[in-house]
């Protein structure tokens, strides 16, 4: 009795393993191709976002430049208003009309903010060591 090694029953498991490996390899290649497409899309999107951010940065710089005059003008206006109100406060010492304006608009002089140049409070003394 002789047994043949090429019988259909002995080749079936090897064929199934080979087919499974071929399907696995094909799915891996497909997945790699899909990943490549996704990475290209991400790269293109990133380039568009970078271009948009650069454009927005230029627009912001232009807006800042355009508003410098308005900011300067508002600072001057604030100084003029402060001077005017200081004059009204000085007039209120002797003038009844100025006193009425101060009372009506609740104008008052606030204490100036502490300068950053003033020294900080001294640290608390350390507790004596036993």
Please give the pLDDT value at position 109: 83
Give the helix/strand (H/E) hosting 84: helix 8-91
- 34-89 pLDDT, tens digit per residue, is 999 999 999 999 999 999 999 999 999 999 999 999 999 999 999 999 999 999 99
* Residue 94 clears pLDDT 80, i.e. is over it: yes
Contact 107, 101 (CB under 8 A): yes
Q: Does residue 126 fall inside a structural domain?
A: no
- 97-126 pLDDT, tens digit per residue, is 989 989 999 988 887 666 544 444 444 445
DSSP string, 67-78: HHHHHHHHHHHH
Q: Does residue 66 fall inside a structural domain?
A: yes
Q: Does residue 130 fall inside a structural domain?
A: no
pTM (whole model) above 0.85: no
Least confident of 5-9, 27-31, 70-74, 91-95: 5-9
> Total structural domains in the chain?
1
Q: Does residue 8 fall inside a structural domain?
A: no
Q: Does residue 117 fall inside a structural domain?
A: no
d(CA 60, CA 54): 10
In the chain, how long is the greatest CA-to-CA distance?
137
Q: Does residue 18 fall inside a structural domain?
A: yes
Q: Does residue 44 fall inside a structural domain?
A: yes
Domain that holds residue 97: 13-105
CA nearest neighbour of 92 among 79, 76, 84: 84
DSSP string, 7-57: -HHHHHHHHHHHHHHHHHHHHHHHHHHHHHHHHHHHHHHHHHHHHHHHHHH
Q: Does residue 17 fall inside a structural domain?
A: yes
Please give the pLDDT value at position 124: 47
* Residue 4 clears pLDDT 60, i.e. is over it: no
Please give the pLDDT value at position 123: 47
**Which pair of structure tokens corresponds to residue 41?**
């899309």
* Residue 7 clears pLDDT 90, i.e. is over it: no
């Amino acid at each position: 009795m002789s047994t043949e090694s090429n019988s259909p029953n002995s080749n079936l498991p090897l064929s199934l393993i080979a087919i499974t490996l071929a399907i696995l390899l094909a799915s891996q290649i497909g997945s790699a191709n899909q990943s490549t497409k996704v990475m290209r899309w991400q790269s293109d999107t990133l380039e568009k976002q970078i271009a948009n951010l650069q454009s927005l940065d230029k627009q912001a710089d232009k807006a800042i430049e355009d508003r410098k005059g308005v900011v300067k003008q508002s600072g001057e206006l604030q100084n003029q208003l402060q001077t005017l109100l200081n004059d009204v406060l000085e007039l209120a010492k002797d003038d009844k009309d100025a006193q009425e304006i101060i009372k009506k608009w609740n104008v008052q002089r606030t204490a100036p903010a502490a300068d950053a140049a003033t020294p900080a409070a001294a640290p608390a003394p350390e507790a004596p060591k036993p």
